[in-house]
């Protein structure tokens, strides 16, 4: 019988608070078994996890048997201002899942195949074994859904729950997608609607102040964006392995910020065609409650994990065919220019700066950011 089963038997209705070594043993036995010897990678890249977390060593060990580029990204995603968790709308499982996907999304944006995640989980003493297990289960499931493994990391005490991670991926040498390759005339594309997660944190903290609440199914749609986000690994691999994308980035800071960052890295401008930007109906409904422009909310600060990318106009049909073959989709929303400015144009031809508020790591919580109001 495992330590956890013994605790549940002796105190079936009481929370259990194990020490760190006990939690590590439970973690290894429940979530991190049978890793060593796993074959990872893809597209002819030979990667073998020689020693995973189940080996209980200080580090994971990979054997890389072919020339490849190693892609590494790290994100700290959970501190005192994860507002929907503080409101009780997200569980420990949800924030663990989000941690995994947030980090793996950066690997996807580089066109790489994820081969592992190292996670850091710090927690206060009042977190019992069940809540701790929830977080670890979420990280495990997030990795599993992205086709990779949580290969270890660090756990221990802190003043509150703190989550951070580092994701690893591989790709063929020279094939990693950068932000800096867009050229004037390239088409600007996005893999799906943006703004859903930002709309959720704009809505739920202020729900009681609006004249009416949204329908239950719309609220569920908003929360699902946080509970089960998706890293666009498959889309990134199509763009990277087929060399279609000239530049690429995920939209974890919001679509406006992403367009501006690709623009600055590439030394180009962008013109976005407002009628072509997909807007989720749930985002439009939140915008209506806020008295905001739907497009502005859709492009504003939001932790979405769509991919924004540029492609040569001559590659559009071939890229579309590859996406269709994989059951994937994307939207052409604009084009790169030589103006050095990011602007949008409506159906009447009126040009303006990109609408919305870009996330730039402001001191305030994202839920306090306001979007451009609707003009009379």
Determine whether the annotation assigns residue 250 to a binding site.
yes
Tokens representing 15 are: 């929370």
Q: Which stretch of DSSP H or E encloses residue 88?
A: none
Adjacency order of strands within the sheet including 113-123: 69-78, 162-171, 113-123, 150-157
Q: Are strands 307-311 and 162-171 parallel, antiparallel or unpaired?
A: unpaired
| First-to-final CA distance of the chain | 68
Q: Is 185 left (phi over 0), alpha (psi -120 to 50) or beta?
A: left
CA distance 168 to 61: 12
* C-alpha torsion sign, points 54, 60, 66, 69: positive
CA distance 239 to 160: 39
Determine whether the annotation assigns residue 253 to a binding site.
yes
User: Do residues 237 and 113 lie in contact, with contact meaning Cβ atoms separated by under 8 Å?
Assistant: yes
Adjacency order of strands within the sheet including 38-40: 38-40, 47-51, 61-64
Determine whether the annotation assigns residue 58 to a binding site.
yes
Q: Is 369 left (phi over 0), alpha (psi -120 to 50) or beta?
A: beta
CA within 13 Å, CB half, 81? 10
User: Do residues 50 and 61 lie in contact, with contact meaning Cβ atoms separated by under 8 Å?
Assistant: yes
Determine whether the annotation assigns residue 329 to a binding site.
no
Determine whether the annotation assigns residue 347 to a binding site.
no
Comparing C-alpha atoms, which of 56, 361, 104 is closest to residue 230? 104
Determine whether the annotation assigns residue 153 to a binding site.
yes
Determine whether the annotation assigns residue 75 to a binding site.
yes
Q: What is the DSSP string of 310-327?
A: EE-GGGHHHHHHHHHHTT
Residues 6 or more apart whose CB falls under 8 angstroms from that of 49 comprise 35, 36, 37, 38, 39, 40, 60, 61, 62, 115, 116, 149, 151
Binding-site residues for substrate? 359
Binding-site residues? 58, 74-75, 106, 153-154, 179, 250, 252-253, 359
Binding-site residues for Mg(2+)? 58, 74-75, 106, 154, 250, 253
């Amino acid at each position: 019988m495992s330590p956890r089963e013994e605790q549940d038997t002796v105190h079936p209705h009481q929370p259990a608070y194990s020490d760190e070594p006990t939690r590590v043993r439970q973690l290894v036995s429940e979530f991190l078994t049978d890793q060593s010897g796993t074959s990872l990678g893809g597209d002819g890249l030979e990667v073998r996890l020689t020693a995973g977390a189940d080996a209980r060593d200080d580090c994971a060990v990979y054997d890389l048997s072919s020339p490849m580029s190693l892609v590494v990204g790290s994100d700290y995603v959970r501190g005192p201002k994860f507002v929907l968790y503080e409101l009780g709308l997200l569980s420990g499982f949800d924030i663990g899942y989000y941690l995994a996907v947030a980090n793996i999304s950066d690997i996807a944006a580089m066109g790489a195949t994820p081969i592992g995640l190292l996670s850091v989980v710090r927690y206060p003493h009042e977190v019992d074994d069940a809540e701790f297990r929830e977080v670890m289960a979420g990280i495990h499931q997030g990795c599993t859904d992205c086709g990779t493994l949580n290969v270890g990391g660090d756990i221990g005490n802190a003043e509150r729950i703190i989550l951070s991670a580092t994701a690893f991926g591989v790709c063929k040498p020279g094939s990693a997608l950068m932000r800096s390759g867009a050229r004037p005339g390239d088409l600007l594309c996005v893999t799906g609607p943006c703004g859903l997660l930002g709309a959720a944190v704009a809505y739920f903290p202020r729900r009681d102040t609006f004249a009416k609440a949204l329908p239950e199914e719309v609220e569920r749609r908003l929360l699902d964006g946080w509970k089960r986000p998706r890293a666009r690994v498959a889309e990134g691999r199509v763009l990277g392995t087929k060399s279609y994308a000239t530049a690429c980035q995920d939209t974890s800071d919001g679509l406006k910020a992403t367009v501006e960052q690709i623009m600055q890295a590439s030394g180009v401008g962008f013109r976005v065609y407002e009628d072509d930007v997909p807007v989720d109906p749930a985002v439009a409904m939140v915008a209506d409650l806020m008295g905001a422009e739907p497009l502005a909310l859709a492009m504003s600060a939001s932790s979405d994990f769509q991919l924004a990318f540029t492609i040569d106009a001559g590659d559009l049909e071939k890229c579309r065919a590859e996406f269709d073959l994989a059951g994937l989709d994307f939207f052409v929303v604009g084009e790169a220019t030589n103006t050095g400015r990011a602007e949008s144009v409506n159906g009447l031809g009126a040009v303006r700066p990109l609408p919305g508020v870009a996330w730039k790591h402001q001191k305030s919580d994202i839920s306090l950011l306001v979007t451009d109001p609707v003009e009379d």
